[in-house]
Amino acid sequence: MTSIWIKSPLAVLAHAPAGIVVRDGRIAEMLSGGQQPSATVDEVFDASRHVVLPGLVNTHHHFYQTLTRAHPEAINKKLFDWLVALYPIWARLTPEGLRLATRLALTELLMSGVTTTSDHHYLFPAGLDEAMDIQVEEARRLGMRMTVTRGSMNLSRKDGGLPPDSVVQDEDDILADCERVIGRYHQKGDGAMIQVALAPCSPFTVTRSLMCACGALAEKHDCRLHTHLAETEDEDRFCRAMFGMSPLDYLEDTGWLGPRTWLAHGIHFSDSDVARLGRHQVGVCHCPTSNMVLASGQCRTRELEAAGAAVGLGVDGSASNDSSNLMEGVRHALMINRLTYDASVTHLDALRWATQGSARCLGRGDIGEIAIGKQADLALFTLDELRFSGAGDPLAALVLCGAHRADRVMIGGAWRVIDGQPRGIDVMELRAAHGAAARRFL
């Protein structure tokens, strides 16, 4: 490992005006004005044009959906109708399609400043048994940290659920593969590159038995749990009709109401629900762009944080976003939360959700912050584009003026994006191959 001095940044989301020293993949020093590194460094990077953030952390996505962006069968629909339209189309997913979708989503995220991501993959049509292996291979290829979630669906339309039979699996097969994926890939401790979470899709696509079994497995192997919850009012009505209780009561009834769980969306919670989530230290991934596209509602971020719940940020699936750009999501989070509350919601709140809050959702204390001893995961942005001309506060400008592409990205002390280009990826070649794969879904 080399040592790097990221010198004299234009601005940094930490107190380090003279820069940051990285040694052996970690942040070793944060330099005050005029201060020099305490020892010789191997490389000095002049950051005087750059605004430095902790690497962004994306806590909810569906990579495979990059293949069905703005699909004519699904646009202008709310969630349940949108899903009914797309499930039969998604049933065509192949291993090569998933590989290209994963590579494209990871590359987009990386170029937007994301250094750690999760992906909620729950779709396993025939022939896609090695979906998790494909995703791990692609994350390793780009050098990104990833929480691979072994998602699942086993409640099909014939059993009262939403998905067709062609995209659900048997519970025993699901649980066996969960054990396999955890055993093969789950890393623990600081600096982990690949971690595994168990992620039954949603109350309207899985059985109570599967929820309970995944909860027990997560406890056994000390890994995290993830699912969609309280995204729409339709879901609330479904839970009350199917299970005789609210979505949060159902979560508690299945043994999921605890600190290893983080939820996607978390929109339709009552005051008492919010208090319970905070008391049990459940995380909530706020997905502002998707929530607006599908008109699902507005997450109660302030109340959740005040109650003690971790609030993170996610782009959600690229068929309901329709982008994999978390820096763009930071801006959307600021805007919709100002509409929900008032102008006292700041750019720093939105950046906190995308860094520290998201790291908490994933159960990680080693990322999401620029501080001594943390992993050297950093996103560097320039303010050279016309959109930034005239901006007075560089950190605020990233959010208010619409930054969407990092100039440099570092993960574990290694540069993974240089001059806006991801290392080892031919972007135009990827665009062509992915575009060809996507046309098979039309």
Half-sphere exposure of 175 (CA within 13 A, CB side): 16
Judgement on whether residues 386 and 354 belong to the same structural domain of the protein: no
Q: Tell me, yes or no, whether 235 lies in a domain.
A: yes
Is residue 383 pLDDT above 70, yes or no?
A: yes
Which tens digit of pLDDT belongs to each residue from 80-97? 999 999 999 999 999 999
Residue 242 lies in a domain: yes
Mean pLDDT of 49-61: 98
Question: Quick check: is 366 in a domain?
Answer: no
Alpha carbon dihedral 197, 203, 208, 214, in 10-degree steps, equals 0
Q: Is the pLDDT of residue 355 over 70?
A: yes
From the list 395, 421, 424, 427, the residue with the least C-alpha distance to 408 is: 421
Residue 349 CA to residue 315 CA, distance in Å, equals: 17
Angle at 285 between CA 437 and CA 216, to 5 degrees: 90
Q: How many domains does the chain have?
A: 2
Together in a domain, 166 and 184: yes
Residue with tokens 């937007």: 112
Q: Look at residue 263 and tell me whether its pLDDT is greater than 80.
A: yes
Contact between 235 and 248 (Cβ < 8 Å): no
pLDDT category of residue 183 using cuts at 50, 70 and 90: very high
What pLDDT is attached to residue 292? 97
Give just the sign of the alpha carbon dihedral 394, 400, 406, 411. positive
User: Which residues are bridge partners to 30 per DSSP?
Assistant: 20
Q: 43 and 76: one domain?
A: no
Same domain, 342 and 332: yes
**Domain check: are 186 and 237 in the same one?**
yes
**Residue 403 counted as domain residue:** yes
Tell me the pLDDT band of 1, cut-offs 50, 70 and 90: low
In angstroms, the CA 116 to CA 38 distance is 29
Query: Which contacts qualify for 401-407: CB closer than 8 Å, 24 or more apart?
Result: 402/328, 402/331, 403/327, 403/331, 404/112, 404/325, 404/327, 404/328, 405/111, 405/112, 405/327, 405/381, 406/111, 406/112, 406/113, 406/327, 406/379, 406/380, 406/381, 407/50, 407/380, 407/381, 407/382
Report whether pLDDT(426) > 90: yes
Contact between residue 24 and residue 323 where contact means Cβ atoms under 8 Å apart: no
Q: Which amino acid is at 390?
A: G
CA-CA distances (angstroms) from residue 24 to 14, 113, 221, 226? 20, 21, 29, 32
**pLDDT exceeds 70 at position 392:** yes
In a domain, 434, yes or no: no
More confident position, 107 or 160: 107
Angle at 109 between CA 107 and CA 110, to 5 degrees: 65
Of all residues in the chain, the percent with pLDDT exceeding 70 is 100
* pLDDT (0 to 100) of residue 115: 99
What angle is formed at CA 136 by the lines to CA 135 and CA 139, rounded to 5 degrees?
85
309 and 185, same domain (yes or no):
yes
117-144 pLDDT, tens digit each = 999 999 999 999 999 999 999 999 999 9
pTM score: 0.98
Specify whether 199 is located in the same domain as 121: yes
Q: Are residues 339 and 395 in the same domain?
A: no
Cα–Cα distance, 312 to 439 (Å, whole number): 33
pLDDT of residue 279 exceeding 90, the answer is yes
Mean pLDDT of 39-65: 98
Distance between CA atoms of residues 325 and 337, nearest Å: 18
Structural domain that includes position 295 = 56-361
| Mean pLDDT for all residues in the chain | 97
Which CATH number belongs to the domain containing residue 412 in this structure? 2.30.40.10
Burial class (CB in 10 A: 0-12, 13-18, 19+), 237: exposed
Same domain, 377 and 228: no
> Do 411 and 326 sit in the same domain of this protein?
no
Give every strand in the sheet of 311-313, ordered side by side: 56-58, 114-121, 145-152, 194-200, 224-229, 261-265, 283-286, 311-313
Q: Lowest mean pLDDT of 7-11, 76-80, 406-410, name the range.
A: 76-80
**50 lies in the same domain as 60:** no
**pLDDT of 393 strictly over 80:** yes
- Does residue 429 carry a pLDDT above 90? yes
Do residues 214 and 200 touch, judged by C-beta distance below 8 A?
A: yes
Specify if 438 maps to a domain.
no
Does residue 295 share a domain with residue 206? Answer: yes
| Cα distance between residue 367 and residue 369, in whole Å | 6
